Structure 1
């Protein structure tokens, strides 16, 4: 007996349904496999992202540490010079020289390169780089105070110049000295022969006096050019100064100059005493020349850490900035009868003691020389 049509249809539908379930299960298994692969890839990506984040965090911390612990001023600004990043040294520099001055300094160098900038007696070296990213454009500045370095460079150049001038001066002095001795001898003999001729004797005396003046200048040149031999020992600053001031009192009395001695009785110098008397004498002599009638000269002493020394101050005419640059170079003088060797000799003696001498002046009303030696 044949099956009924409805039962045949049901069997087909059931078969189709079973096949559909099979296809669905197969697809589900494929999806599960794909999902497992995706999940493994996602896990791997998460691990890589975490690793990169850790590296970035580490790098960021390193860069922040470098920035904050750098001895240089580091600052980044945008094109309108708005600060983007800065380190503590930049904050300190802005505080010291003022925000307006600092901003003006940055704006003056809005191009890549290395520049030296002078501001308020200080010299800064600016290394400027361009900041150029997809999000930001501007400038990166690395700024260092090179004032001390500049002073050392100037001292080196000055020492080299002094050495060359010293060699030249020594040769000239020796060449002049021989005929000068003959002139003095002949003038003395002529003076003896003209004992009854008063006008002639006056002329010969003037010749002898002039020759001796020139000879004194030559002696100073030779002192300046010869190698200094030091005999160092401990001396009280007060003992050195007292001997010199006693010798120079008559010069101060002539101009009614008030001398104020603020030397500490306990402060000492390790030096060659006779040479340092020459240092004090030359500095005080310059102060007397610079002072007006009833002027004032002050001497102080100090002992600071690994240096000690003294300061000679006057309220005279001051020294201009241009003159200060050439102050310790020989034959540079504004005095009508000066040779310009006094301060050059002072400088040489101080440097022979491995010390330092500096000058401060407003160019019109005061001058202050500071001499310091290692303890």
Structure 2
């Protein structure tokens, strides 16, 4: 309001004052003309006329001074207005580079303009903050390039998937030979053609030599004039999908194998019983010194071995129903170690224990002992001479873990994916059912087994279990 009042006053002084001055000047000229006429006619001007003449002269002087003052005030006001406008302009220029900047408050209507600008800047900061949080937390790789091919956006997930750092990618062209962007050919195709790429599966060859399966989608970006401004590319990591697909295939394969194994086991067990029985009858009929007794002994021994395999098949095909109860896993570990702690085991293996306090979980104690027994026996057999087995228990908010780390020969990377397949074994006399049964029992417990191994260093099997059955297993 003050700004408007000053503006009206300045206009009045700058426009009306010259008109008034012109009027008085005209009146002065008329007065001089009267005096000149009076001199010519010989009549003197009266006292009143003389005073009026002086009064008019004073008014003219005042108006001249007022005009000068008005012009000066208008100049000062215009200068201040121009300075304030320049400050706002500079603030807007600075805002284009730093959205966190806040313009200094101004007076009058300029203050209202500055307040509106600050409100718009705050909304812009909020929008940008939400956008940055979305891009940073997104598990999908997001890349944008302008119409000239320069990379404008490269979020952290894109850096993880491609193996290229954000610092290296931003500001460079996607076709830069030093960048070697794995999806550069899809971006180029989208820039050249109007057809987008929809969920195209690609194998990314990363700079570190590893490869990664992703699904890539691209689309062209346009401004409000429908002019092309660039290309958006989104990469979705397919590792989890591939893992789930593999788990489903494995579950289906094992289910079929289990049914087949159950049928075969019953068919094999009956003739094995007959072979064993008749071998024992023959052995009883032979003289103690008869060399044929050696053969009957071998037959019985091998039948027992086959019967053990058949029993393993039955356990794998139809595991017993689980009876879950709260148990202290440290105590279950101690009971299992007592089963494997034979004198020969103790002579070769040093068991190191790192138990957390009161590691409780709902488990079937007998089934969990079977899991631990299989893993401990495998660990001891993986150590050719003397070595160590370190057992660690930990407890988190929603799960517990048991780690069994041996100092054995390790497992080749190419065989890790097959460890839990039935009949797959790396030992000459192994049946390949121990780990398969352990894996199946862990699934019945709602848990999982993680394996980490290094050749000639050792292998770690980590059991992860939920605290309560029916709860969510936190990875």
Calculate the TM-score normalised by the size of structure 1: 0.74
Query: Relative to structure 2, which stretch is displaced further, 101-110 or 173-182?
Result: 101-110
**Cα displacement (A) at 1:289:** 1.0
1:60-139 mapped onto 2 (5 Å cutoff): 68-69=133-134, 71=138, 72-77=140-145, 82-87=150-155, 89-90=157-158, 93=160, 98=165, 106-107=181-182, 110-111=185-186, 112=197, 113-117=200-204, 123=212, 125-129=214-218, 131=220
- 1:365 positional shift: 2.0
Q: Which has the higher contact order (CA 8 A, sep 6+)?
A: 1
2:85 corresponds in structure 1 to none
- The alpha carbon displacement at 1:254 in A equals 6.3
* Higher CA-based Rg: 2
Summarize deviations over 1:252-303 as a string: whole Å, max 9, x none.
6366121111122411121000110000000011111111312111111111
Alignment pair present for 1:325 and 2:413: no
Residue equivalent to 1:10: none
Equivalent residue for 2:450? 358
Q: Distance in 2 between matches of 1:234 and 1:97?
A: 48
CA distance in 1, matches of 2:452, 2:205: 17
Aligned partner of residue 76 in structure 1, secondary structure: strand
Task: Note the C-alpha offset of 1:181.
Answer: 0.6
CA contact (8 A) 2:402 2:462 kept: yes
2:402 to 307, 310, 326: 310
* Equivalent position of 1:144 in the other structure: 236
Instruction: Work out whether residues 217 and 339 of structure 1, in 8 Å CA contact, stay in contact via their aligned partners in 2.
Output: yes
What's the C-alpha RMSD, in Å, of the aligned pairs?
3.3
TM-superposed deviation, 1:128: 4.0
Q: Is the 8 A contact 2:355 2:392 kept in 1?
A: yes
Q: Is the 8 A contact 1:131 1:140 kept in 2?
A: yes
Q: 1:76 offset after TM fit, Å? A: 1.7
Query: 1:186 is matched with which residue?
Result: 278
* Contact 2:161-2:237 within 8 A present in 1 as well: no
Question: What stretches of structure 1 of length at least 5 have no aligned partner?
Answer: 1-57
Change in CA separation of 1:193 and 1:354 when aligned onto 2, cut-off 3 Å: same
CA distance in 1, matches of 2:165, 2:241: 23
Q: Is the 8 A contact 1:75 1:83 kept in 2?
A: yes
C-alpha separation in 1, matches of 2:165 and 2:344: 44
Q: 1:135 to 1:225 in 2, by over 3 A?
A: closer
Question: Per the alignment, in what secondary structure is the counterpart of residue 107 of structure 1?
Answer: coil
Of 332, 336, 340, the match for 2:432: 340
Among candidates 256, 259, 277, match of residue 348 of structure 2: 256
Instruction: Give 5+ residue unaligned stretches, structure 2.
Output: 1-122, 187-196, 468-475
User: Equivalent residue of 2:342, what SS?
Assistant: helix
Matched length: 316
- Per-residue deviation, 1:146: 3.9
The 8 Å contact of residues 329 and 344 in structure 1, kept in 2 or not, is answered as yes
How far does the alpha carbon of each residue in 1:196-221 deviate from its partner, in whole angstroms, 9 at most, with x for none? 44311111111111111111111111
Whether the 8 Å contact between 1:269 and 1:309 is mirrored in structure 2 is no
Q: How far is 1:147 from its partner?
A: 3.2
Cα distance between partner residues in 2 of 1:136 and 1:360: 48
Q: For residues 39-59 of structure 1, give each alpha carbon's deviation from its aligned partner in whole angstroms, at most 9, with x where no partner exists.
A: xxxxxxxxxxxxxxxxxxx99
Using a 3 Å threshold, how does the CA distance of structure 1 residues 144 and 105 change in structure 2: closer, same or farther?
farther
Contact 2:156/2:166 (<8 A) preserved: no
